[in-house]
Amino acid sequence: MDAPSLSTSSLSPSLSVDKLFDVRDKNVLITGGGTGIGRMIAQGFVDNGARVFIASRKEATQAAAEIVRASSRPPSRVFCRGLTADLSKGESEQMNLLSAVARETAGKLHVLVNNAGTNWAEPVESYPIKAFEKVVALNLLAAFSLTRLALPLLEATATLGNPARVINIGSIDGARVTLIDHFAYSSSKAALHQLSKVLAGKLGHRHITVNTLAPGPFASKMMKVTLARAQEEIEAGTALGRIGSPEDMAGAALFLASRAGAYVTGAVLVVDGGILVKPRL
């Protein structure tokens, strides 16, 4: 069932939280949705009544089942399906993923979350070119390719008052220089931020918004080793004095995907607890 569309000319718009942040019955595809930030976002959509598909390079069925069990909603009103797809393998794998989603949604996708990503850290002198290419291929090229291929599914749901949404998961490391030698990661995320802005300008007339979430430190698989080694120092480096929680990440994604965020496009929403703005010497 299509999510309700709200007229931009309504004389008595509903400004209740239930209406503004309603994502019930929206079809949502989240790449890399089985772990970390992707899973936080997936749980947020599932708990608020969306039909969620999580795609992962590894078997995603178990992760989907765990998300269903963790939901606060009755089991009969929860939908989360795990799909296996290695997006780094190119368009054939991406098309297979979208075909699987289309079969279960009558070809209609309301929200695409490009979250799948990888990292590689090594000193510049020994940084492998193949590793650089691998990181850029998944973090940047796959996001562009999947978005392009998903356009027919997104346009099938898009309206003036309730556009389809693309949410790209960037990083604050795409907006700063850190001590970590992850040259490809930070470069690919900076490029993804810019790509989102360019796509937003090109797709707006097709009633599709494109925005970026730029997370700071969250308890994800990618951050596990770093947090185990230096969580206190990382927390001290934020203006708010803590790392991010699932509520922080899910809330930001729900805003961009709901009526509340329908007039936002081309934005980079930083969710970092104030790392980028904390005064430093």
Between CA 185 and CA 162 the distance in angstroms is 33
Residue 95: per-residue pLDDT? 97
Q: What is the DSSP letter of 79?
A: E
C-beta neighbour count of 279 within 10 angstroms: 5
d(CA 51, CA 29): 9
For the chain, the structural domain boundaries read 22-271
Q: Output the pLDDT for position 219.
A: 85
CA distance 110 to 246: 22
Residue corresponding to tokens 């970390």: 36
* Active-site pick, 45, 53, 185, 218: 185
Cα separation values, 37 from 66, 260, 272, Å: 15, 21, 13
Closest by CA position to 256, among listed 268, 272, 245: 268
pLDDT digit string (tens) for 31-48?
A: 999 999 999 999 999 999
User: Which tens digits make up the pLDDT trace of 242-273?
Assistant: 999 999 999 999 999 999 999 999 999 999 99
Mean pLDDT of the chain: 93
Residue 7 pLDDT exceeds 60:
no
Which of 33-47, 93-107, 149-163, 215-229 shows the lowest mean pLDDT across its residues?
215-229
| Structural contact between residues 98 and 146, judged by C-beta atoms closer than 8 angstroms | yes
State the DSSP H helix or E strand holding residue 234, giving kind and residue range, or none if neither: helix 224-236
Measured CA to CA in angstroms, residue 121 lies from 29, 129, 224 at distances of 29, 12, 14
> Is-catalytic flag, 185?
yes
Q: Quick one: pLDDT at residue 222? A: 72
Q: Which two tokens stand for residue 161?
A: 């008052």
**Long-range pairs for 4-12: beta carbons < 8 A, 24 or more residues apart:** 4/162, 5/159, 5/161, 5/162, 6/161, 6/162, 6/259, 6/262, 7/161, 8/160, 8/161
pLDDT of 76 reads 85
Phi/psi of residue 36, nearest 5 degrees: 55, -140
Helix (H, G, I), strand (E, B), or coil: what is residue 126? coil
Who has greater pLDDT, 223 or 254? 254
Distance between CA atoms of residues 153 and 84, nearest Å: 19
The CATH architecture of the domain made up of 22-271 is 3-Layer(aba) Sandwich (3.40)
